[in-house]
Amino acid sequence: MAQTIWIHMLADAKKRDADGMDYICDHLFKVLTQTGKLTKAEGWNAFQKASAKDGTTYRALFCDSCAKNYNNGNVRMAKEPVLA
């Protein structure tokens, strides 16, 4: 069974820091909430078409761990609020 990768939507101001990606994985989200900035220390893997089971695609930035475990269809939207 594939590992679910939870993604969080970024505010427009933060998209510049994420190489223009609209979403980040949960691991990068935790780093962002703790430090207030995105860092490339945990990996920096841009996916132009990360997909969910329903076929929806997202422009997402994954850490090394999530990038390694990514398979088509195992992305899910988190219910967290958008970061400003």
- Residue 2, pLDDT score: 64
- Residue 49, pLDDT score: 94
> pTM above 0.75?
yes
Q: Is 35 within a domain? A: yes
Which residues constitute the domain of residue 44? 5-56+64-77
Q: Is 73 within a domain? A: yes
Q: Is 82 within a domain? A: no
Q: Is 21 within a domain? A: yes
Order of all β-strands in the sheet with 45-51: 45-51, 57-62, 23-25, 5-9, 75-77
Q: Is 44 within a domain? A: yes
Residue stretches of the chain with pLDDT short of 70: 1-2, 41-42, 80-84
Q: Give the amino acid at 25.
A: C
- Residue 62, pLDDT score: 93
Q: Is 84 within a domain? A: no
CA–CA dist 71, 63 (Å, integer): 14
DSSP assignment letter at 84: -
Q: Tens of pLDDT along 26-46? A: 999 998 888 888 877 657 899
Task: For 22-64, give the DSSP string.
Answer: SEEEHHHHHHHHHHSS--GGG--EEEEEEE-TTS-EEEEEE-H
Q: Is 83 within a domain? A: no
- Residue 32, pLDDT score: 86
Q: Give the count of domains, the chain.
A: 1
